[in-house]
Amino acid sequence: MRNRRDLQSGKIDLFRAIAVAALFAAGAIAATAQTMDETWLRHGYFHGFPPVPMHVRALGHEPIEKTAVKEIVNGVDRLFGSAPSSGGDGASDEIVVGTVQEFRSAYPKLNVPSTLSPEGFWIAEMDSAGRQLVVVVGGSERGVLYGAFALIRKIATISWNPKTTITEAPAMPIRWTDEWDNADGTIVRGYAGRSIFFENGKVRDDLNAVGEYARLLASVGINGCNVNNVNDAAPFLEPQMIQGLKRIADTMRPWGVRLAISVDIASPQKIGGLKTFDPLDPAVQAWWAAKADEIYAEIPDFAGFTVKADSEGQAGPASYGRSPADAANLLARALAPHGGVVLYRAFVYNNHLDYNDMKADRARAAYDIFHPLDGKFDANVIVQIKYGPIDFQAREPVSPLFAGLEKTNSAMELQITQEYTGQQRHLVYLAPMWKEMLDFDLRAENRATPVKEIIEGKIFNRPLGGMIGVSCVGRDGWLGSPLAMANLYAFGRLAWDPNLTAEQIAEEWARQTFIQDPHLIATVTKMLMQSWPAYEHYTGPLGTQTLTDPTGSHYGPGIEGSEHNGWGQWHRDDAQGIGMDRSVATGTGFAGQYPPEVAKMYESLATTPDNLLLFFHHVPYTYKLHSGETVIQYIYDSHYQGAEEAARLGEEWATVKGKVDPRLYEDVRARLEYQAGHAIVWRDAIVQYCLKESGIPDAKGRAGHYPGRLEAEDARLSGYKVIDVTPWEDASGGKAVTCVTPTGCSAEWTYTGKAGRFDIAAQYFDLQGGVAHFALDVNGKAIAAWSADATLPSGQPNGDNSTRFTARGPDGRGIDLKPGDVLRVDGTPDASDPAALDYIEIESLIGRD
């Protein structure tokens, strides 16, 4: 009989609501002993009866199966406020979990499919001598666990139908996250605090968060986690570190997540005492074989090594005239006896390219280096290829190397941490971009060869392949931003099934993350879906990539910064035009690396899609897009459109007020407000830069004209000094003011516009190393005060830290202004934050309410 304790009375609903609120208040710690946010496993709460039996029983005794039972029990409890009992009495209806073999011996008369893949599962409702069984059968223990999570997900997303049998198997065997954690506890390109794995040069004592992370990963089918940075990895092979890594592996094992590590190919020399790390040297080979033995003695299910070599300063086989295949095979042969694999990164390029060489092209590197090696890699090597030929930009074409390796296993590397896509301060749901990459048909051999099917191994009949998500989670709420968790979720779901749509995944995530409210779920889904196009619109449209400085923080606008250096993330703009000619006929020849049909499409201006036009071609600003608009007008329009779209995200979120926990609501609201302000920084930087470069005015009269803007450099200044901002495009008019008087400074303007009610925005620079304070008053009356207390890149005023504060008056009804009013901003510096100010802007309220 099902346990329906108190469910009808509604008591549990009330209790549940209070419990959920209390969990939020306590930072979700005390009641569950959970140390970090459960995010989508928190599960929106349902009112009603659990649609499954209230007993759960494991047929086997493996830890992973026990995990599976626990997840079903806890999942039903979270969703319905009533926990099934674990164990089962053999007489009641029950949920039964086990492997195919276990099920067959326990229920010889019941049929289960004979073709389940090892990590696949089968869920069905069956009748056993009058008892209702919901059976979750896995091809292996890991399949059982994935089935358990799938059952809970189906129930949580209201797509569980007991009458329908579910059979699923992952599309590809390698489904890993890569973490770029350093032994000292810092994380490269991590935007959420310190490492959950390491501190002070060793593995942390407290690995609770690691277990909780493994649980999140397992819930979406991720089966491997590489825990350390691909750079400077030699210390991770020291014996003491291997002992610590064993503890990490032990912690992740109950979730079926296998440990992998990045290794430095120079380790035999750096830590092994050898004079060389030449891959063909027998002593080097023996060193790696012994190291693999040492690792497997501690971690028998160790997954393998990831390698970055001959790239961005990392040592590599090129030092000895050897190839990536030589290096990869060296490691592969050490791992092969134990069943491990090598993920060799195709991110190999020269970062000292000559900008003046019109044939130089970083985009060519991966194909030029790896295509000739096709067929030369051992069977347990997988070449790990970033989705695009450059580096995780907001828009790139898919890497041609996916079609260039027919006799080699390949995997796609994506970035969950938003290095070039807003660093989690901007809401950018990346699944729509990843889908474009996965669905892209490379037309290898002039037939349908979508990238997803290549990495699944289907197209070239490769046994290994997969998806790797560079995740870089930290102790500050995994990714730092609650909505960014949709990206981690989406990565796992797409690695499991790349045929899911981005919208389907967004909705699935929202349903599980939030309370079941249709408006809330629809709004969050919509916001997620709008976010990547918006980001692309206000950062770098038409395939210019993210127009940030690749030598800096990779965050704010730095248009000139991406040119004139050896890093090759160029867009080659000049007074005549913009874009990089990568055609075969007149450019770098990159377009010719694609299979013929795709190469032909990108070779011609006429057939290159607008959104990649400037990636493949250099055109005059007056060149007309397929839409009929000129390139320059599109640049202006898309930036204004993108900034408006960013502002709309905040407006949409405002409609869910009261439907989510107030602290969560406020956290997301503040982030979206910041994003809307930073989108204006991006918009203005690119628009004023392109206006100056092209000399062509905006047909809509916006570029260079800011009617409500009062520049700080034009104000009556007291204590403030006018400075040139670098890069110039990051400040309005290239200038700002910085306070040189420790006790404080002020900037004052006399209002000359129409009388009315307005918002007043202040654009200031929130620098590292101090918390400057600002206050705004009108005719001596205090209007607003705020602190520059965010954590943003850079100690110099620029687009990384240019921030907008908007004063909206009492109850948000605006501030009355009339001609002759005196507006004043007081800035008080703190430590190395000089309360720098760019401008204030009087904003019309029209269209706000």
Task: With contacts defined by CB under 6 A, name the span among 132-140, 226-234, 530-538, 743-751 that binds ligand GCV.
Answer: 226-234
Task: Judge contact between 388 and 440, C-beta under 8 A.
Answer: no
Amino acid at position 397, single letter:
P
Q: Say how far residue 16 (Cα) sits from the centre of its chain.
A: 32
- Report, in Å, the least distance between residue 334 CB and ligand GCV: 23
Quote the CA–CA distance of 495 and 492 in Å, as a whole number: 5
Task: With contacts defined by CB under 6 A, name the span among 225-233, 475-483, 522-530, 619-627 that binds ligand GCV.
Answer: 225-233
Q: x/- string (CB under 6 A) for ligand GCV, residues 680-719?
A: ----------------------------------------
* Strand 772-778 to 781-788 pairing: antiparallel
188 or 601: whose CB is closer to ligand GCV?
A: 188
- Report, in Å, the least distance between residue 590 CB and ligand GCV: 19
φ, ψ dihedrals at 88, nearest 5°: 95, 145
Q: How many residues bind ligand GCV (CB under 6 A)?
A: 10
The interface with ligand GCV within residues 154-183 (CB under 6 A) comprises: 180
| DSSP class per residue in 270-324 | HTT--S---TT-HHHHHHHHHHHHHHHHH-TT--EEEE--SBTTB--GGGGT--H
Residue from 675, 727, 789 nearest 421 by CA: 675
- Report, in Å, the least distance between residue 419 CB and ligand GCV: 6
Q: x/- string (CB under 6 A) for ligand GCV, residues 337-366?
A: ----------x-------------------
The correct pick among 135, 148, 230, 412 for binding ligand GCV (CB under 6 A) is 230
Quote the CA–CA distance of 357 and 254 in Å, as a whole number: 54
The interface with ligand GCV within residues 181-200 (CB under 6 A) comprises: 188-189
| DSSP class per residue in 717-742 | EESEEEEE-SSGGGSGGGEEEEE--T
Task: With contacts defined by CB under 6 A, name the span among 28-36, 91-99, 223-231, 774-782 that binds ligand GCV.
Answer: 223-231
Quote the CA–CA distance of 604 and 316 in Å, as a whole number: 37
32 or 551: whose CB is closer to ligand GCV?
A: 551
* Strand 224-226 to 202-203 pairing: unpaired
- Report, in Å, the least distance between residue 545 CB and ligand GCV: 13
224 or 589: whose CB is closer to ligand GCV?
A: 224
Quote the CA–CA distance of 300 and 293 in Å, as a whole number: 10
φ, ψ dihedrals at 699, nearest 5°: -60, -20
391 or 573: whose CB is closer to ligand GCV?
A: 391
- Report, in Å, the least distance between residue 550 CB and ligand GCV: 8
- Report, in Å, the least distance between residue 570 CB and ligand GCV: 15
Task: Judge contact between 478 and 634, C-beta under 8 A.
Answer: no
Q: x/- string (CB under 6 A) for ligand GCV, residues 270-309?
A: --------------------------------------x-
345 or 824: whose CB is closer to ligand GCV?
A: 345
What angle, rounded to 10 degrees, do the helices at 431-439 and 518-539 form?
A: 70
Task: Judge contact between 50 and 1, C-beta under 8 A.
Answer: no
Residue from 821, 779, 323, 359 nearest 582 by CA: 359
Q: Residue 92 class from Cβ within 10 Å (0-12 exposed, 13-18 middle, 19+ buried)?
A: middle
Catalytic position from the list 141, 419, 581, 833: 419
The correct pick among 35, 167, 208, 231 for binding ligand GCV (CB under 6 A) is 231
Task: With contacts defined by CB under 6 A, name the span among 84-92, 227-235, 252-260, 628-636 that binds ligand GCV.
Answer: 227-235
Quote the CA–CA distance of 6 and 40 in Å, as a whole number: 26
- Report, in Å, the least distance between residue 194 CB and ligand GCV: 17
Q: x/- string (CB under 6 A) for ligand GCV, residues 767-806?
A: ----------------------------------------
- Report, in Å, the least distance between residue 351 CB and ligand GCV: 9
92 or 231: whose CB is closer to ligand GCV?
A: 231
Contacts of 455 (CB under 8 A, 6+ apart): 172, 402, 410, 411, 412, 465, 466, 467
| 312 belongs to the catalytic site | yes
Residue from 681, 394, 673, 704 nearest 537 by CA: 394
Catalytic position from the list 391, 507, 637, 698: 391
Residue from 502, 482, 471 nearest 425 by CA: 482
- Report, in Å, the least distance between residue 118 CB and ligand GCV: 31
549 forms part of the interface with ligand GCV (CB under 6 A): no
- Report, in Å, the least distance between residue 348 CB and ligand GCV: 10
| DSSP class per residue in 807-828 | E--GGG--EEE-TT-EEEEEEE
391 forms part of the interface with ligand GCV (CB under 6 A): yes
65 or 419: whose CB is closer to ligand GCV?
A: 419
Amino acid at position 287, single letter:
W
The interface with ligand GCV within residues 407-426 (CB under 6 A) comprises: 419
| 645 belongs to the catalytic site | no
φ, ψ dihedrals at 622, nearest 5°: -90, 5
Q: x/- string (CB under 6 A) for ligand GCV, residues 607-626?
A: --------------------
| 396 belongs to the catalytic site | no
- Report, in Å, the least distance between residue 703 CB and ligand GCV: 31
Q: Say how far residue 117 (Cα) sits from the centre of its chain.
A: 29
Quote the CA–CA distance of 264 and 618 in Å, as a whole number: 39
Catalytic position from the list 125, 232, 238, 312: 312
- Report, in Å, the least distance between residue 387 CB and ligand GCV: 12
- Report, in Å, the least distance between residue 252 CB and ligand GCV: 22
Q: What count of other Cβ atoms lies within 10 Å of the Cβ of residue 107? A: 18
178 or 833: whose CB is closer to ligand GCV?
A: 178
Task: With contacts defined by CB under 6 A, name the span among 11-19, 228-236, 364-372, 491-499 that binds ligand GCV.
Answer: 228-236
Cα radius of gyration rounded to whole Å, the chain: 28
The 3-class SS string of 577-630 reads EECCCCCCCCCCCHHHHCCHHHHHHHHCCCCCCHHHHHHHCCEECCCECCCCCE
Residue 570, Ramachandran bin (φ over 0: left; ψ between -120 and 50: alpha; else beta): beta
Contacts of 342 (CB under 8 A, 6+ apart): 304, 305, 306, 307, 328, 331, 332, 335, 378, 380, 381, 382
Contacts of 273 (CB under 8 A, 6+ apart): none
Catalytic residue annotation: 312, 391, 419
Which residues of the shown chain bind ligand GCV in the complex (CB under 6 A)? 180, 188-189, 229-231, 308, 347, 391, 419
